[in-house]
């Protein structure tokens, strides 16, 4: 139990065991792994400073979740962020619907080993994390505490200094908005087995590294969707870009794979947000340098979606910016 007489070492021993799950909680809230880590530190600082206020009526875990939730709300009150409008234009010649699932500029992928305490894969998928960012902060807090953490309306109300009736009303609105933001076919997505995912990723890597157009076409679904976060894949604008359809994707990738501008690739398989991902390196000045991290969605033995993130996320995955010579 937390007491105001314990020293810092005792306090750390009691609270550090919850660090991983608190980071996942803040990550769901903010969509950014970097910000989530900062907010966990803020949570522990607030907890230490307010340890004399801990009455013991709730578990230490619940007490820390309450502090973390309010720290996230305070952060969002200080740094107001606007998600992209629903009608941003798509790439020229693309038949893709107006917005991909992960069209949130600050969204970051997370390695699976960071997310091992997640209650379910669907609550850490990029599509879910992005959709949550469209909710007002208070609704976001209610949805996560009620539907993800599993708290009652009474527990949630106590954490947010409101009433159970207000919590129930906010949850109803949050669920309706979340349904609007999530891809309409998400409930029909079949989660591929780990063996199937590994096989598809191996084909994807082989096809791209050998620049085999036929093999690339075979591993991509006909309605493949691709998106680039700001700065990823050579895109330097302030908003995500996206395009769709196998022929459009093949045409867009052709300059990198063929002709005078072709570049040699190295691709390394990793895991992100409960699914497969590939770290892409391009040879430049004789070395393979980080280009982007591609989160993949596999459906029926093919890659149905590719979301590309900036090389800055490589560090979270333990990936180098430049590959060693022998890789």
Sheet holding 241-244, edge to edge: 241-244, 220-228, 302-309, 287-299, 275-284, 265-272
pLDDT (average), residues 156-166 = 97
**Is the pLDDT confidence value at 97 over 50?**
no
Q: Which residues contact 155 (CB under 8 A, 6 or more apart)?
A: 62, 145
Vertex 195 angle, CA 189 and 196, to 5°: 45
Q: Distance (Å, rounded) from C-alpha 25 to C-alpha 130?
A: 14
What element of type H or E holds 160?
helix 153-160
In this structure, the strands spanning 302-309 and 220-228 are parallel
Q: Which of 13-17, 44-48, 89-93 has the highest mean pLDDT?
A: 44-48
Residue-level pLDDT at 174: 96
* Percent of the chain residues past pLDDT 90, beyond the cut: 61
pTM attached to this predicted model: 0.88
Per DSSP, the residues of 208-251 read: HHTT-HHHHHHHEEEEEEEEE-TTGGG--SSS-EEEESHHHHHH
- Could you tell me how many helices (H) and strands (E) the chain has, helices first? 11, 6
Q: Looking at per-residue confidence, does 325 or 59 come out higher?
A: 59
pLDDT(118) > 60: no
pLDDT confidence of 93, banded at 50, 70, 90? very low
Residue-range domains of the chain with CATH: 8-83+110-187 (1.20.140.160), 191-317 (3.10.450.50)
The residue ranking higher by pLDDT, 24 or 196, is: 24
Confidence at 116, pLDDT banded by 50, 70, 90: low
Q: Which residues of 13-43 are buried (b: 16+ CB within 10 A; e: fewer)?
A: ebbeebbbbbbbbbbbbbbbbebbbebbebb
- Helix 8-15 to helix 33-49 angle (10° resolution) is 130
Each residue's pLDDT tens digit, 22-44: 999 999 999 999 999 999 999 99
Q: What are phi and psi of 215, to 5 degrees?
A: -70, -35
Query: What does the mean pLDDT of the chain come to?
Result: 87
The single residue listed with the structure tokens 């398989």 is 269
For residue 81, what pLDDT band results from cuts at 50, 70 and 90? confident
Token pair 């997505």 is at which residue? 189
- For tokens 């006909």, the residue is 222
Quick one: DSSP state of residue 261? T
35 with 112: CB under 8 angstroms? no
> Among 269, 270, 273, which Cα is nearest to 112's?
273
First CA to last CA distance, the chain = 49
């Amino acid at each position: 139990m937390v007491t105001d007489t314990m020293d810092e070492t005792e306090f750390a021993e009691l609270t550090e065991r919850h660090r991983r799950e608190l980071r996942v909680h803040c990550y769901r809230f903010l969509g950014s792994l970097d910000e989530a880590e900062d907010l966990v530190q803020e949570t522990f600082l607030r907890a230490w400073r307010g340890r004399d206020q801990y009455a013991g009526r709730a578990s230490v875990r619940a007490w820390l979740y309450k502090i973390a939730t309010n720290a996230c709300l305070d952060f969002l009150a200080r740094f107001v962020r606007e998600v992209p409008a629903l009608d941003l234009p798509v790439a020229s010649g693309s038949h893709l619907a107006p917005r991909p699932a992960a069209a949130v500029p600050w969204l970051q992928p997370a390695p699976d080993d960071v997310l091992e305490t997640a209650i379910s894969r669907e609550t850490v998928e990029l599509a879910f994390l992005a959709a949550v960012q469209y909710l007002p902060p208070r609704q976001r807090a209610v949805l996560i505490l009620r539907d993800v953490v599993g708290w009652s309306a009474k527990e949630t109300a106590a954490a947010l200094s409101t009433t159970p009736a207000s919590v129930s009303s906010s949850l109803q609105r949050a669920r309706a908005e979340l349904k609007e933001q999530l891809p309409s076919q998400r409930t029909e997505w079949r989660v591929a087995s780990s063996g199937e995912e590994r096989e598809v990723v191996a084909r994807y890597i082989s096809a791209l590294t050998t620049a085999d157009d036929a093999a690339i076409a075979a591993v991509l679904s006909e309605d493949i969707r691709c998106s680039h976060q700001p700065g990823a894949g050579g895109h330097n604008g302030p908003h995500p870009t996206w395009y769709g359809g196998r022929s459009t994707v093949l045409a867009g990738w052709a300059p990198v794979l063929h002709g005078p501008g072709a570049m040699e690739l190295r691709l390394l398989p990793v895991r992100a947000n409960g699914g497969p991902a590939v770290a892409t390196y391009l040879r430049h000045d004789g070395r393979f340098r980080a280009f982007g991290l591609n989160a993949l969605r596999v459906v029926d033995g093919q890659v149905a979606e590719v979301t590309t993130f900036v090389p800055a996320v490589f560090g979270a995955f333990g990936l180098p910016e430049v590959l060693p010579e022998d890789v």
